[in-house]
């Protein structure tokens, strides 16, 4: 299913940003100087790409298509994924708050930032594995072939409407910049 390939490709982008986030959090934990704006940029990427685009494709398109074709919306995989999306949003808020506190040189901000960054990365890595290994194969099996084109068309609408005409490309560029900075 082509839509699943799109989501899995987006997972690879998210994982590269998580690699960068973990690297910079590690530097911060060791007492090295790290630009607080790096973490704000990660939060912007997470809000715009991971949540604003990727999760919206899942929540607004894929999950409804799955439920339409027999996957229960509650008490199973979809409900777990939605709970984890919400947990990720909480981590991103914590990350943004702690990064601003680090900018203001508030005591304890670095430790809070490291905890939020590593918590977010661990949550998303586990979440991505569940989707790649369980949920997406289930979707590919459950959603009939004729519905795939409709799912893809709706994905394109989410990309355009959610991030604007150049927004998706801008967020991919931000991911690459974060990677370069963390090297």
CA atoms within 13 A on the CB side of 59: 16
> Domain range for residue 67?
2-182
Where helices occur in 59-166 by DSSP H, the ranges are 63-68, 77-103, 109-130, 136-142, 145-163
How many separate domains does the chain show?
A: 1
> 44: domain CATH number?
1.20.120.520
Residue 164 backbone phi and psi in degrees, to 5: 85, 170
Q: What parts of the chain have a pLDDT lower than 70?
A: 1, 162-166
What is residue 1's predicted lDDT score, i.e. its pLDDT? 64
What is residue 136's predicted lDDT score, i.e. its pLDDT? 94
23 three-class SS: helix
19 three-class SS: helix
Separation in Å, CA 35 to CA 120, 172, 174, 180: 19, 20, 15, 14
What is residue 166's predicted lDDT score, i.e. its pLDDT? 60
What is residue 101's predicted lDDT score, i.e. its pLDDT? 97
What is residue 160's predicted lDDT score, i.e. its pLDDT? 75
Task: Produce one character per residue of 61-74: b if its CB has 16 or more CB atoms within 10 Å, e if not.
Answer: bbbebbeeeebeee
Longest dimension (CA), the chain: 57
**Cβ pair 1, 135 in contact under 8 A:** no
pLDDT per residue over 98-112, tens digit each?
999 999 999 999 999
**Cβ pair 66, 74 in contact under 8 A:** no
pLDDT per residue over 155-179, tens digit each?
888 887 765 556 778 899 999 999 9
The count of residues in the chain is 183
């Amino acid at each position: 299913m082509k839509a699943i390939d799109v989501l899995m490709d987006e997972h690879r982008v998210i994982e590269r940003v998580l690699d960068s986030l973990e690297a910079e959090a590690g530097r911060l934990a060791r007492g090295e100087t790290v630009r607080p704006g790096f973490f704000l940029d990660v939060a912007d990427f997470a809000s715009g790409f991971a949540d604003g685009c990727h999760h919206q494709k899942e929540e607004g398109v894929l999950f409804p298509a799955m439920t339409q074709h027999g996957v229960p919306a509650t008490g199973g995989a979809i409900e777990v994924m939605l709970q984890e999306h919400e947990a990720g949003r909480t981590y991103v808020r914590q990350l943004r708050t702690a990064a601003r506190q680090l900018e203001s040189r508030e005591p304890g901000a670095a430790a809070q930032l490291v905890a939020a960054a590593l918590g977010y990365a661990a949550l998303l890595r586990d979440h991505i594995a569940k989707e790649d290994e369980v949920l997406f194969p289930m979707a590919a099996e459950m959603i009939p072939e004729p519905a795939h084109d409709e799912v893809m068309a709706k994905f394109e609408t989410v990309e355009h409407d959610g991030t604007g005409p150049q927004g998706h490309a801008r967020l991919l560029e931000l991911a690459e910049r974060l990677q370069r900075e963390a090297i």
